[in-house]
Structure 1
């Protein structure tokens, strides 16, 4: 055992100096700061940096994420360590995989989530354990698929518990999945249930990847964790050309048949789908096509999801087949899986059945 003097001598000679960056001036000078003799690494205070950049409480918006990436890049160029922070073990693993040399575990954040969970009457389970959900009454954010919108959910919403607060989100404002997720987070409550359909389900996965601490439960409808195939890329590229040449209205009519499948025989469903799609408009559709084409394969990352999750597929869905839904559920630890007698648009085809499944999952059985 060493004495106090020797302990202090060793501490003084081995002190690590980490500089915290929390404003735009620090972001700009990150590389120069990291190059100062004696500086061992750079650490961004994400909450304070967001405030300094004018995005209070919005740490996941693209501007803040770009600034953080700029600081990390400056540290690497100067040969200094990249230091990050999180209160979520799954996110910590992501930071290490992305090149962080040190990850600070935010115990206060983790304890805050736990105490909030306990106060709501539901102890938060360990990541990957079986899920026992007891009335998750957080606001519900709804993300419709490509060419979908708020009205897509009307029939299902009418059948859901009246105690749930529903908030449709938009995914037609950005041309990348990451950008769409950031926009959803910027407009969403501090903590919420997330339901995503088709492309909206892909965006929902990215929302959880960016901010898992804000999502209390996740429902994925008729979507996939895979990246696009070459055939899909070719189809989307052709649609983009046709839409740009003035063929958007024709595409909407065609997509109604593709998405509704056998349910396209019901002209009420077709009219409802087309009305929403036309509101999204050509430009929104082109942005969605670009996002689809650039989306990443999430399958490896899905295994780290620690959010209570339910995956729902349609028995007759030819767009996102039941096999894809089962794969998605198998990849997410503890996820529930259910199939209903519907195609790709179950919120139009079987809204009451879909609502009952979701209500039961959230602890509000009918």
Structure 2
């Protein structure tokens, strides 16, 4: 599928992208180039420190009905948005993420990064945080690593602190997931160490008729690490039929690319 020439408007509601922790539109440059009508909710959620407030920030900046794609923390925000306004979400893509509550040790690990930022600066924090987020090939891609590093550093320590508080206080989605009735896909890089494949298998098991897509050779930053494959998968998701009452898709498909 040639995503550059696909007629997104005739297939799906406008594509809205919710970035993850310390991320903005730079993460999705190739996706926006392929789908020029797409909109990234930029601005690091204005420093919000609750997922619920981040969802409100996005709701105020997007069209009435959307194809909603969330990456990492952005996927958790997307789920909160579905909870708040399900009628506005025509289809849902959850990328490199999870649906579990905070795990033992998560608070301590996030605060350890925060303390590095407080004591040594944002550059040191990102230098510690970023490498495990990228697959083996991405680590050897100097322009990619430079771009991701600059993006995360530009977020600044106050944004990082607010966003980790939002993540540590994230609302449970256990009761929400079985109620989601729009075309839903979970996408993940095979080498994602932070949000591994198993977490996405749990997502598709919990959401009726959800689909799983695994991208070989990519890590947590898969949209930037493997943009051509990612863009193709997004294009395929955008062509899944969605009637006005958002019926479930009849088959539960799993695939690897």
Q: How does 1:309-348 map to 2 (within 5 A)?
A: 309-341=184-216, 342-348=218-224
Instruction: State whether structure 2 residue 100 is matched by structure 1 residue 226.
Output: yes
Mapped partners of 1:272, 1:255: distance in 2: 14
Are the aligned partners of 2:17 and 2:69 in contact in 1 as well (CA < 8 Å)?
yes
Shift of 1:186: 1.0
Instruction: State whether structure 2 residue 159 is matched by structure 1 residue 159.
Output: no
Match of 2:163 among 265, 285, 288: 288
Instruction: State whether structure 2 residue 73 is matched by structure 1 residue 199.
Output: yes
Match of 2:174 among 299, 302, 312: 299
Secondary structure of the residue that 2:94 maps to in structure 1? strand
Shift of 1:276: 1.1
Q: How does 1:16-55 map to 2 (within 5 A)?
A: none
Are the aligned partners of 1:136 and 1:216 in contact in 2 as well (CA < 8 Å)?
no
1:108 counterpart residue number = none
Mapped partners of 1:230, 1:295: distance in 2: 15
Mapped partners of 1:304, 1:153: distance in 2: 29
Structure with bigger RCO (C-alpha 8 Å, 6+ apart): 2
Secondary structure of the residue that 1:156 maps to in structure 2? helix
Mapped partners of 2:235, 2:21: distance in 1: 24
Shift of 1:317: 1.1
Shift of 1:135: 5.0
Shift of 1:246: 4.5
Q: CA RMSD in A?
A: 1.7
TM-score by length of 1: 0.59
How many residues are treated as equivalent by the alignment?
A: 228
TM-score by length of 2: 0.84
Moved segments of 4+, more than 4 Å: none
Are the aligned partners of 1:201 and 1:223 in contact in 2 as well (CA < 8 Å)?
yes
1:362 counterpart residue number = 238
Match of 2:23 among 144, 148, 163: 148
Are the aligned partners of 2:76 and 2:99 in contact in 1 as well (CA < 8 Å)?
yes
Q: How does 1:120-159 map to 2 (within 5 A)?
A: 135-159=10-34
Are the aligned partners of 1:135 and 1:362 in contact in 2 as well (CA < 8 Å)?
no
Shift of 1:336: 1.3
Structure 1 residue runs without a partner (length 5+): 1-133
Instruction: State whether structure 2 residue 125 is matched by structure 1 residue 271.
Output: no
